[in-house]
Chains A and B, each alone.
Chain A
Amino acid sequence: RKEVEQDPGPFNVPEGATVAFNCTYSNSASQSFFWYRQDCRKEPKLLMSVYSSGNEDGRFTAQLNRASQYISLLIRDSKLSDSATYLCVVNMNYGGSQGNLIFGKGTKLSVKP
């Protein structure tokens, strides 16, 4: 099983649609989880951290399911400007170390007019 797995997409959705991405991780001891956004030929930028209780930032909602070892990102009312690749990032702990930051391959979203 890969350490962090994402569906690469692409997800092609119309403006205004709701879209959800999932990400699974292999190490149950992982403690920190993030979603990053990366535009084409640009650097990744932090979109939001993912907390155990779930968190929301405007149209974006992130959730963590530790039992099933997955995190999700929900985007409501999609905008054209949401078109990007969304990277799932997990801080993997391997017994006593400070952990390793593992990025998924990303899920590509394309929002169409």
Chain B
Amino acid sequence: EAGVAQSPRYKIIEKRQSVAFWCNPISGHATLYWYQQILGQGPKLLIQFQNNGVVDDSQLPKDRFSAERLKGVDSTLKIQPAKLEDSAVYLCASSLDLIQRGQSTQYFGPGTRLLVL
């Protein structure tokens, strides 16, 4: 079974530029998550989708970050404009159903390492 796919794996941009990340979850997984992991920290949930609807985006900096999952499968996360403090690994994860409904297993993708100069 294929895992969670993410691209690109690495990205270097200058501050104030825009960047987009793509995620393809495991087939059949209804729930998709985007996390930001800064070096030395644990992952921080940015946004959580159930199919194509947003379940939780309370920690998404909406002035510069946006995410969509229009057809309930693939998802994109965009940063516009980027700041130095956005340098981090952006992890996408998926699960069969909501963690909150007892689905304990999130499967993470390899992440996209973003460096903002």
| A interface residues with partner B (beta carbon < 8 Å) | 4, 31-32, 34, 42-46, 49, 87, 91, 97-106
Contact = CB atoms under 8 A, between A and B. Distances in A.
A8 B43 CA distance: 14
Given A43-B109, A87-B43, A101-B33, 8 more contacts: A46-B104, A97-B56, A98-B56, A98-B100, A100-B45, A100-B58, A102-B45, A104-B42
Given A32-B99, A43-B109, A91-B100, A98 B55 contact: yes
Interface of B: 33, 35, 40-45, 48, 55-56, 58-59, 91, 98-100, 102, 104-106, 108-111
Contacts of A43: 91, 108-111
A105 B104 contact: no
A34 B106 CA distance: 11
Dominant SS among interface residues on chain A: strand
B97 to A, nearest CB: 11
A31 to B, nearest CB: 8
B98 to A, nearest CB: 6
B99 A101 contact: yes
Nearest to B43: A103
Contacts of A105: 40-42
Contacts of A31: 100
Given A32-B99, A98-B98, A101-B99, A45 B42 contact: no
A87 B37 CA distance: 12
Contacts of B33: 101
A32 B108 contact: no
